[in-house]
Structure 1
Amino acid sequence: MPALDLLSVMRRPGTALLAASGENSAWEVFSDPVRILRAHCIDEVEPLFYELERLTAKGFHTAGFVAYEAAPAFDSALTVHEKLSGLPLAEFAVYGHAPLTVGVPDDLGGHLHAPLEPELSEKEYGKQIADVLNHIHAGDIYQANLTFRCRSVETVYAEELFLSLAARHPVPYAAFLNFEECRILSLSPELFLESDGRRIFSSPMKGTAKRSPIPADDRAVAEWLAHDEKNMAENLMITDMVRSDLGRVCIPGSITVDPLLHVDTYGTVHQMISTVHGELPERVSLFELFSATFPPASITGAPKVRAMEIIRRNEKSPRGVYTGCIGVFRPGKAFRLNVAIRTLTVCGSHIETGIGGGIVADSTAESEWKEAVLKRRYAEIAPPPFRIFETIRWTAQDGYADAAAHILRAVTSQRYFSRPVDSSAIERGLEEVEANLRRGGTESATVKFLLDHHGNIEFEPGPGRGTWRAVPLRVLVSSDRTDAEDVFLHHKTTVREFYHSRLVSARAAGFDEVIFRNTRGEFTEGSISNLFIRQGSRWYTPPLRCGLLPGVERAHLLASLPAEEKLLFESDLRSADEILLCNSVRGAGTVAHLSWN
């Protein structure tokens, strides 16, 4: 289904769009419901669930949500905010046909303009954390998941925004609901419950680490998370809760955990996940299942009843759909439900999301605030549509220069962004381009290849470019600063407008290149080059953590000069005995004139 057709379907009231299960990226589209089921008060939740069960037994499909505040319907001991304004406690659309499966469309460029502002300050959150910690130290609870809401006001096209966010942050349990009260956009990576009618699964997610923009460092962060005792203990605690919850309804002896403490990677964070398995008896109802398991253990605490009392006393507002669940119930007692985290509700021009984290005995207010605010980035960070690319020098005499290094860098970046890539297909494409160049009698060329988010490859041969080896370079120091944490500084992508515009201006003023500093005043790189300086007999180049590309020619010079990585500041360049700029197409050139903007 073309993107425009999908958008028109998504705009119809009652439409639901959910990520399809399995390895292939696809969406299940439910549209044109024959009925809507709503529960506006606690007493209406149980009848809704039995009606869901009756309808799916007759062959209907249903999709919708259960709000966190529906919890007392399943267990009257659970404490929540009493009033949930603007939303039912549960709502499901009923469809008389199976969903249509469609491919994932390209990024449509939607994003939020207004920032999502927290409903409380860091100081207020710190007071709430202190209260939770007092209860932990008193032995009342072991853990509590403390959250708050973030809101903004702006008019958005929710359908385009969802498809764009889903393209940029692919997750296995994403969902979009277009219901009467609001539209719900969920980018959840966490599975609450999934069943084929007999077997049931739950994958609690506890343990978070911010990703590094540098691939090698990023792998180290994931490895650290996998062995961090605090995160492991937190995950094990919640996993034991899920085992206990499912054990109340599953066949005795059927509960297993596999994998345990596995680390998955998403757009901005690494997450620790465990998966609990069990077998359901023939005669267990959906309501009984929810009575044993809802709300999800990962977003409440241990023990659940007492933790929810403390949560209710501290949190300022109802959670709504956030930390409830979103998903589908199918004929044959099959269902698939996410934990509704990383979820936006769009009601008119009012946009809301919830964020938070698990508080344990050694939690600190400062670290918990930072982790919570990091989680908000799923909606605020809007990387534009982009492709990974490499440009390789080719000559008839020597063939490609450093093709293997360029392919490796592109493959590493593609995998960093969780995109498919086939290195052998790149190699075959380069061989075909080379054959065409030789047939045409070309002596020198540059060959560019680009990779999109589907792994598709495009090749662009171009004319050869002059070397810098004998050129006295005129270089401008830009007054504009870069952010070392900007992921696009560490990967060669088509997101280059910042560099390109400044290079165009510099060349118009008679310069060959422009070089940059980050917000800490550390020199980083040129718009198309890496930077080296010589002080006496020693060569230095900025470390990758300053915010720069791991250049192919940079790697050669690090070994051949040899050079060391070192933070470089203005005083270093002003006192340098020699300055070199390099890239793999033009080689290395000496800076003859450096102009400070």
Structure 2
Amino acid sequence: PPAEIGEDEPQRFLDGVACVLDYLRAGDVFQVNLSRGWQARFDAPLDPAALYARLRQANPAPFAGLFAGEGWAVASSSPERLVAVHGRTVQTRPIAGTRPRFPGDDDAARIRELVGHPKERAEHVMLIDLERNDLGRVCTPGSVEVDELMTVESYAHVHHIVSNVRGQLRPGATPGEVIAAVFPGGTITGCPKVRCMQIIAELEQVPRGAYTGAFGWLGRNGDMDLNILIRSAEVRGDTASFRTGAGIVVDSVPGRELDETRAKARGLLRALVPEA
């Protein structure tokens, strides 16, 4: 277990949500993803592979991976795909809409409430439109479609609303152009992206590091599959850190958004603090 573990001051996040709500009411933006951090320090250097194994057990996810360098590593249990290319087909799989999941919960009731909630539906559809626009930059006109709409995926600690957007790449579109079109993911910045990133920088006041970046694989033929680095921990020596966020819209309740960041942190905390 860690020698010490701490989370960012909750009030700072609540104050940030209040500022975002002011921007939303002014019509400056439509949605902003605001995040907060946790840090753990251990008595000895962490073994990234061991942490990754615990993370896989505590929070299984389809886009998990371990990326290690000299003295640092990123261990990810991400549920979200940023972009995949296979042949001429490109797709992105945005997540927007979350509810916590607890042992003994009535999963069916929790899911019904999630998918039936007007706020969650409106936020999700808005972000689908953003992703359609992103793919449209590199796709043949008219080929972009939503082939899976508002599916619920249930993980160890949360339920998520997920959709899939795909299109056919225009001739000559390069892997770099594809990544530039979709990065960073709209679900972890907000809408519109650039203004949201400015607001995030103003309110979070620290670099996000690997959080909300991406990793995956890229083939010589241009095929690729990249995740979004959420539910992911950065390891440097005897310290580990991670961030979680929540999408803020005009009718968000600050306390509930704080609870969402904690629900998303549970799998990472369980990997770092086995008794958590």
Q: Same fold (TM over 0.5)?
A: yes
Write the mapping of 1:108-187 to structure 2, written as runs, cut at 5 A: 112-114=1-3, 116-119=5-8, 121-154=9-42, 155=44, 156-187=46-77
Once the two structures are superposed, what CA deviation does each residue of 1:241-296 show, in whole Å capped at 9, x if it has no partner?
A: 00001111111111111211110000011011011011112311222222221111
Q: Compare relative contact order (CA 8 Å, sep 6+) and give the higher one, 1 or 2.
A: 2
Following the alignment from structure 1 to structure 2, what is the Cα–Cα distance between the partners of residues 357 and 168?
Answer: 21
Count of residue pairs brought into register by the alignment: 273
Q: Can you list the C-alpha shifts for 1:69-101, whole angstroms capped at 9, x where unaligned?
A: xxxxxxxxxxxxxxxxxxxxxxxxxxxxxxxxx
2:269 corresponding residue in structure 1: 380
- The residue correspondences of 1:193-232 to structure 2 (distance < 5 A) are 193-214=83-104, 217-232=106-121
Distance 1:129 1:256, change over 3 A: same
| Structure 1 residue 353, shift from structure 2 partner | 0.3
**Superposed displacement of residue 382, structure 1:** 4.8
Indicate conservation of the 8 Å contact 1:260/1:275, yes or no.
yes
Aligned partners of 1:212 and 1:221 also within 8 Å: no
- Specify the alignment match of 1:364 in structure 2: 253
Query: CA-atom RMSD, angstroms?
Result: 1.9
Q: Secondary structure at the match of 2:115?
A: helix
Which residue identity is paired with 2:212? Answer: T
Q: Compute the displacement of 1:331 (Å).
A: 2.6
Are 2:204 and 1:307 equivalent residues in the alignment? no
SS at match of 1:192: strand
Q: C-alpha separation between the residues in 2 aligned to 1:116 and 1:247? A: 43
Gaps of 5+ in 1: 1-111, 386-485, 487-597
Compared CA separation, residues 233 and 380, structure 1 to 2 (3 A): same
Residue 109 (structure 2) pairs with residue 256 (structure 1): no
Residue of structure 2 equivalent to 1:244: 133
Structure 1 residue 227, shift from structure 2 partner: 1.6
Counterpart contact for 2:29–2:196, Cα < 8 Å: yes
What is the rounded CA distance, in whole Å, between the counterparts of 1:280 and 1:253 in structure 2? 11
Query: After TM superposition, what 4+ stretches of structure 1 lie above 4 angstroms from structure 2?
Result: 382-385
What SS is found at the alignment partner of 1:146? strand
Q: Which amino acid is the alignment partner of residue 317 of structure 1? A: V
CA distance in structure 2 between the aligned counterparts of 1:333 and 1:313, rounded to whole angstroms:
36
C-alpha displacement of 1:212: 3.4
Instruction: Write the mapping of 1:64-463 to structure 2, written as runs, cut at 5 A.
Output: 112-114=1-3, 116-119=5-8, 121-154=9-42, 155=44, 156-214=46-104, 217-382=106-271
Q: Residue deviations 1:482-503, cap 9 Å, x none?
A: xxxx9xxxxxxxxxxxxxxxxx
CA, structure 1 residues 149+235, in 2 after alignment: closer, same or farther (shift >3 Å)? Answer: same
Contact persistence 1:143–1:358 (CA under 8 A): yes
Amino acid at match of 1:251: T
Q: What amino acid does structure 2 have at the position aligned with 1:146?
A: L
Q: Deviations over 1:138-173 (max 9, x none)?
A: 000000001122111113222112112213322110
Which range is displaced more, 337-346 or 163-172?
Answer: 163-172
Conserved? CA contact 2:217–2:226, under 8 Å: yes
Quick one: distance in 1 between partners of 2:199 and 2:236?
29
Aligned-pair identity in percent equals 36
What CA distance in whole angstroms lies between the structure 2 residues aligned with 1:197 and 1:174?
23
Q: Cα deviations across residues 209-261 of structure 1 (Å, max 9, x unaligned)?
A: 1113226x122112221222111111111111000011111111111112111
Please tell me the residue identity of whatever aligns with 2:198. Answer: E
Q: Secondary structure at the match of 2:215?
A: strand
Cα contact 1:326–1:339 (8 A) shared by 2: yes
For residues 342-376 of structure 1, the C-alpha deviation after alignment (integer angstroms, 9 at most, x for no partner) is 01010101211011111100112211111111211
